């Protein structure tokens, strides 16, 4: 979309003072509005289907990049011109309605991560194909998940390997925050332990430690890494996060030793960014 035109449309949208409907209701409304525009419709449908699966307690599928394509306004203009005769008021009305809606639907799509954080307490977007990749990587070895939140990774692994020992832990500090659903809707049994305490308790019982989306700017990941390096048990840390970005501490990213091989690359086959946060899977020692 032309940046200047998008800026104008956003200004127009800001002038609207209507009260916002629930997020999914809004997405459903725009799905109907853009039913003739597959470039946007497919994005809305992906988000709605992911929500449906998560609401049913199932792992969602990978998402495409959730933002309106840069050239969509031109495509929209061409479609409407082809549909209506020149100066047809119906064409003008459709153009005005859809072009005015573009900033809103673009923002809604970009807000999908905020929605699943608020609704499900899911920070790292844990999709079903990634869970299969992760299960293949760890095999049937015993696993410790720290900072597990609501336990989506542990739950997904246990569905794929029902006999596997999976120890799921979290400090549950998030539950003290009124509007945060992390830890309040657990999908599996979670033991109340901070990351270092969990590792010290279970180090001699597991072969992998999994840590997804360590809180931004807090040194919890660095403290865990130090504890793991001081241990007699040499256990790899499977870390999901955005390096020097939205997750973890600078100390951790500076000090981590990153394993690079085909097996690690395979962990990222289905773990792909869908917004401006570029998190990925690392194996650290």
pTM score, whole prediction: 0.88
Last residue of a domain, one of 119, 149, 174: 119
Same domain, 104 and 144: no
Query: In this structure, are 103 and 153 located in the same domain?
Result: no
Does residue 237 share a domain with residue 154? yes
Q: Are residues 115 and 131 in the same domain?
A: no
7-59: per-residue pLDDT in tens? 444 444 444 433 468 999 999 999 999 999 999 999 999 999 999 999 999 99
CA distance 172 to 120: 15
In degrees rounded to 5, what are phi and psi of residue 237? -105, 115
Residues 131 and 60 both lie in one domain? no
Which value, in Å, is the radius of gyration of the alpha carbons in the chain?
Answer: 22
The pLDDT of residue 7 is 46
The tally of CA atoms less than 13 A away on the side-chain side of residue 121 is: 23
At residue 1, the pLDDT reads 43
CATH number of the domain bearing residue 207 = 3.40.50.150
231-285 pLDDT per residue, tens = 999 999 999 999 999 999 999 999 999 999 999 999 999 999 999 999 999 999 8
Q: What percentage of the chain carries pLDDT values higher than 70?
A: 89
For residue 183, the model assigns a pLDDT of 57
Give the tokens for residue 6: 């998008």
Count of structural domains within the chain? 2
- Inter-residue contact 172 to 148 (CB < 8 Å): no
Instruction: Give yes or no for a contact between 275 and 244, defined as CB atoms under 8 angstroms apart.
Output: no
Question: Domain end: 96, 119, 142, which one?
Answer: 119
Percent of the chain with pLDDT over 90: 87
- Helix or strand or coil: residue 240? strand
Average pLDDT score over the chain: 92
Task: Spell out where the chain has E strands.
Answer: 143-146, 166-170, 191-192, 208-212, 237-241, 280-284
Range of 170's domain?
Answer: 125-284
> What confidence score (pLDDT) does residue 181 get?
54
pLDDT higher than threshold 60 for residue 229: yes
pLDDT of residue 14: 44
Of 119, 141, 161, the last residue of a domain is 119
């Amino acid at each position: 979309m032309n940046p200047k035109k998008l800026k104008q449309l956003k200004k127009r949208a800001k002038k609207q003072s209507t009260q916002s409907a629930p997020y999914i209701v809004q997405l459903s409304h725009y799905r109907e509005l853009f039913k003739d525009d597959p470039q946007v419709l497919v994005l809305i449908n992906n988000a709605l289907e992911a929500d449906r699966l998560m609401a049913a307690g199932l792992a969602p599928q990978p998402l495409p990049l959730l933002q309106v394509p840069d050239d969509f306004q031109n495509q929209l203009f061409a479609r409407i011109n082809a549909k209506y005769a020149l100066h047809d008021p119906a064409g003008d009305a459709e153009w005005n309605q859809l072009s005015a809606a573009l900033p809103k639907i673009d923002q809604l799509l970009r807000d999908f991560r905020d929605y699943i954080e608020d609704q499900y307490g899911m920070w790292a977007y844990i999709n079903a194909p990634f869970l299969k990749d992760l299960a293949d990587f760890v095999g049937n070895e015993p696993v410790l998940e720290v900072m597990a939140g609501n336990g989506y990774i542990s739950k997904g692994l246990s569905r794929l390997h029902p006999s596997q020992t999976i120890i799921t832990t979290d400090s549950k500090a998030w539950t003290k925050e009124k509007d945060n659903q992390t830890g309040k809707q657990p999908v599996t049994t979670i033991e109340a332990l901070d990351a270092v305490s969990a590792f010290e308790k279970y180090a001699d019982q597991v072969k992998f430690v999994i840590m997804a989306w360590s809180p931004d700017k807090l040194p919890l990941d660095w403290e865990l890494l130090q504890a793991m390096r001081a241990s007699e048990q040499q256990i790899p840390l499977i870390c999901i996060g955005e390096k020097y970005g939205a997750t973890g501490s600078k100390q951790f990213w500076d000090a981590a030793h990153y394993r690079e091989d085909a097996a690690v690359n395979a962990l990222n086959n289905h773990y792909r960014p869908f917004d401006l946060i570029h998190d990925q899977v690392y194996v650290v020692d």
